[in-house]
Structure 1
């Protein structure tokens, strides 16, 4: 693959995998190649035990203008579209396969449709103060198919979600923060720096404990509190027998920082 073909660029930084949308000349509109390369980057994050947290960002002034319908539209079949090549994971996680590691996302400029859905499928969102958002699929004659109909109402409440899902209107970063779609607002140009800071804080914790915490919370959302409650004690027992639990206890007793191994 040549540099010109790279719609997604990745960088390993310690235990982080930085995943950058790389089509700035098109405001990072997602063509089929970008969708597939993004899925492969998520697969790399999932498989590599040295990688603990993903950081998704975008090159250029805008996070994404949404789907490149001219490129992707003709690929839609009677069953929709398959964007996940062998070794990949659907970044929107709407096909039954979930990422087990946390993702922090940094957004700026324009963030439309699948960009919002990528936020909703992530775990922490940092946004530049001038970011503008829009879930505009109804204005294009389609529906959000990356999880917004499922996750937007859950995150923001029914009325808040329908206000934007059904009108296709744009909204600003303050509204996104009010609804819970964004966790932190930062000055323009600082969004990736802050996302990396948060990701490094997460990566410094015990990886198995982070993944178990994430899994428990997701089980509660997907299957209900009772299902999550049933797994709490077994999960605790598994973690208590891990090398990281021993390291954490030794660090506590010695009042020294813990260097977790993910075992």
Structure 2
């Protein structure tokens, strides 16, 4: 993977087994996102869902920081025109439920470190599991720039931490650390900076070893419960379980149990 990046930045991708490693690469600008970078990130997320051999995405960043957020001078014209940076028809990385975009099916695990502002928080809240370095500096500071967070922070911060905790950080735009992010359920693990990528990859590899159809179904059922309530999620139990139990992977799961060996899942 090439670690040098042009001034406008880019998103690098690398396939490692069943993982798609996605790296934000503009360290000279604290990985601030340009529209071109956001389009590339959307393409990487879409690729994750489209390629059957890929099972888990891993979002990381080059340099000392995850991202300072949007490069506002380059994004302001799009905001003023009401345009989206991600092309319609694919996966929108923050997935706030806008029409015209696909719902991501496969899980994404994120490693955050250093400065993790605005879009950085929204990307990690839209993902599935987040490992944070203990040097993280978080801020959802859109109110300090005269705009509103529209990548899901107003939805997911309240869902994870309650309205009061969400509004504390959304309305002040203050900076908080990894311990506060863990308290608010914004991240799942906090480790030293030198360990953050290794820990993230370990979690992603562990997910990738499980039955892919069951992983996707489980993830989507959790989202259904969050977005539509427990009853809506429960309504899917029987049909989903019947579908999964007829799969080759379910048969392999039974064989591996009987034979007392690790299962070898194919996603079929």
**Deviation of residue 55 (structure 1)?**
0.3
| 1:83–1:90 Cα contact (<8 Å) kept | no
Task: Look up the SS of the partner of 2:151 in the other structure.
Answer: coil
* Number of matched pairs: 261
- Give 1:88's aligned residue: 90
The counterpart of 1:224, out of the listed 226, 229, 233, is 229
Q: Distance in 1 between matches of 2:161 and 2:16?
A: 33
- Give 1:7's aligned residue: 10
Q: Distance in 2 between matches of 1:88 and 1:10?
A: 17
Unaligned runs of 5+ in 1: none
- Give 1:52's aligned residue: 55
Task: Look up the SS of the partner of 1:50 in the other structure.
Answer: coil
1:89-238 superposed matches below 5 A: 89-94=91-96, 95-96=98-99, 97-238=102-243
**Which is worse superposed, 229-238 or 188-197?**
188-197
Give me the TM-score of the superposition, normalised by structure 2.
0.94
| 2:249–2:266 Cα contact (<8 Å) kept | yes
- Residues 1:66 and 2:34 are matched in the alignment: no
- Give 1:42's aligned residue: 45
Give me the TM-score of the superposition, normalised by structure 1.
0.96
Q: Distance in 2 between matches of 1:235 and 1:207?
A: 14
- Residues 1:16 and 2:23 are matched in the alignment: no
- Residues 1:251 and 2:256 are matched in the alignment: yes
| 2:5–2:25 Cα contact (<8 Å) kept | no
After superposition, what is the alpha-carbon deviation per residue over 1:214-259, rounded to whole angstroms, capped at 9, x for unaligned?
Answer: 0111111111111111100100000000000000000000001101
Q: Distance in 2 between matches of 1:21 and 1:189?
A: 18
Q: Distance in 1 between matches of 2:183 and 2:53?
A: 35
**Deviation of residue 3 (structure 1)?**
6.2
Q: Distance in 2 between matches of 1:163 and 1:100?
A: 32
The counterpart of 2:29, out of the listed 9, 15, 26, is 26
Q: Distance in 2 between matches of 1:64 and 1:123?
A: 18
Unaligned runs of 5+ in 2: none
| 2:32–2:70 Cα contact (<8 Å) kept | yes
Q: Distance in 1 between matches of 2:114 and 2:173?
A: 17
After superposition, what is the alpha-carbon deviation per residue over 1:56-92, rounded to whole angstroms, capped at 9, x for unaligned?
Answer: 01001110011101111122244x2212236631100
Q: Distance in 2 between matches of 1:87 and 1:21?
A: 22
Pairwise CA RMSD: 1.4
